[in-house]
Structures are given as structure tokens and as C-alpha cells.
Amino acid sequence: MELKQSHSVRLNDGHLMPTLGFGTYAPDHTPKSKAGEATKVAIDVGFRDIDAAFFYQNEEEVGKAIREKIADGTVKREDIFYTTKLWTTFFRPELVRPALERSLKKLQLDYVDLFIIHNPLAMKSGEELLPRDASGNIIFDTVDLHDTWEALEKCKDAGLTKSIGVSNFNRKLLELILNKPGLKYKPTCNQVECHPYLNQSKLLEFCKSKNIVLVAYSAMASHRDPNWMDPDSPYLLEEPTLKSIAKKHSRSPGQVALRYQLQRGVVVLAKSFSEKRIKENFQVFDFELTPEDMQAIDGLNRNFRYANLNFSGPPDIYLMYI
């Protein structure tokens, strides 16, 4: 099955990216094998965009699942759009390509489709995912993002990735890359937290003006990982407006939250390890929200973030990220 253009978006480098993706992040207490099992279900259901990362520590399992679905004839490699991310301890330019090659080795794939900077906060190089000092504070590093980006460009030139992009960048940081002297490739996308309570309308408008695709994670805000989310955070899918619109369309609030992003021109990631939910999350191409529905969901925005990256660092680093 080839990528259908109607369910894909053309990136600024010419490659096609599916508009609905499957997220593979799981909390620490979830067995890594679950990510592999869920990935196989997702591919069987119809997902072709698989969003992963070195930081998730399950690329071996996800890669095995993809290879098994290729081996059994469900898909060809070119049908799959695989994203991995450069973790923040590998921002020094000499570490970028080895980091990607490390992911490729775990995946046992020759290339990825998209390689993105996971977030703009450089941390101390080394094997620790979250290097901390004696007080428990994250140890940051000073690395010029221009140098990191050049190293990503070289990975694209080497054929290790087809496209390159960023994640968790605000407008100021995007402009930092776009205005880089000698820029060879623009970021194709910017993956950020995005849902009805944080609709990122200004950032979306800016990205569209620069032909950069906005990719939404936490689109349903359904995971409650205490490492990254305040347990007292509101349950998005219990929002009365979403429930009312869902009832009108005979859909679930989650499906409405996903469809909302698709109709805004946002690529959206859906994450679940439940077979029932994975199937449900893919059923978003056969109904349409009305302009009134879209306006009502727009009205839910409260600039509320679920992802709470508990890093202790200089205030200016926070300002860059937020």
C-alpha cells in the first residue's frame, strides 16, 4: 500500500508525511515489549507514520515490529514513515551522526524518514539520559544550535534520513535556524504539544507561513505519566464541549480531538497501547467537523500545558523552551 496523498502532507523538501501518526512513548513501568506489540497492531490497522525516539528506549522493539510487518507482506519499507529524535545529550556536532547510527542499529534499518531535534535544551554529553549534579539538578551544556543543525543536514546528505526537523521549538528558536547563514535545509516540521487546551494557533500560523508542518503530540492528553504531568491536570477528554460534539457525530471525544487537528492542517500523533483505542484512533478520516464545531473547540484554548519537563536550569533556558 502506497502513501495516499489525501492522507499525507508534502514537506518542504518534497517528501510525503502521513497526517496521522502512531506515538510509541511509554512510561517507565510499561514493559518495552508493549511498544512492539502496539506498533504491529497500529500497522495492521493502517498507521504508516511511526513516531519514536532514542529517549523512549524502545527502538529495538519498535524496529523489530516494523521488520516483522515488512517480512509478512503487510507493508514495504517505503510505506512506513519512521521518525526518530536526537536526544539532548548528543547535541555536540560530532555526536549527531553517531546518535542516528545508534538508532538505526537498534532498528536494523538503513535510514529513517525523519530525524528531529527532540528539544532545544542541550544537556551534558554522556550515557545518562538526564545527567544531574549532586543536588539533583539537570546539567546543561552550551552548544550552538546552528552547529547541531548543520550536523543534521549532513545526516540528510549522507542518506541516513530523508528529512530533518525540530521539536518543542518556539517561534524565536525556529527563526534562529531559518536565519542561519548558509542554511542548506529548512526544518520540515516542528513537533509540539498541541490540543484544544493549548491550540498553538500563533505558532501554527507562523509555521504555515514558513512552509513548516506543525506536528501535534499529546493531542488527546490521555497519558497520565507522573514524571511529566501533574496528576491534578484536567482530563481533556472529559471536556463537555468535546463530549457534546462527539455525541453529535457518534464519535469519541478522542476522535474529535484528533479530527480537529487534521482539519487545521496539523499532522497529529495518537498514542495508545490498547488495541481497541488504536483502531478507534485511526477512524478519523470518514467524518468532518462543522465550522461551528471547529470554532467551539478553538474556544477551549487556555494555553494549558500538560507536559511538565521538570528541569532545573537557568531561567533563560526555560524562556527559550516555553
By annotation, the residues acting in catalysis are 56
- Tell me how far apart the alpha carbons of residues 186 and 193 are, in angstroms, rounded to a whole number: 21
CB 196 within 8 A of CB 230: no
CB 88 within 8 A of CB 122: yes
Angle made by CA atoms 192, 140, 149, in degrees to the nearest 5: 55
Q: Which residues contact 234 (CB under 8 A, 6 or more apart)?
A: 197, 304
Q: Which residues contact 33 (CB under 8 A, 6 or more apart)?
A: 61
62 sits in which H/E element: helix 59-71
- For 127, list phi and psi in degrees, rounded to 5: -85, -20
CB atoms within 10 A of CB 125: 17
Is 118 labelled as part of a ligand binding site?
yes
Cα dihedral 117, 119, 124, 130, rounded to 10, equals -120
By C-alpha distance, which of 245, 258, 274, 177 is closest to 216?
A: 258
- Tell me how far apart the alpha carbons of residues 242 and 296 are, in angstroms, rounded to a whole number: 9
What residue numbers does the annotated binding site cover?
118
What residue numbers does the annotated binding site for substrate cover?
118
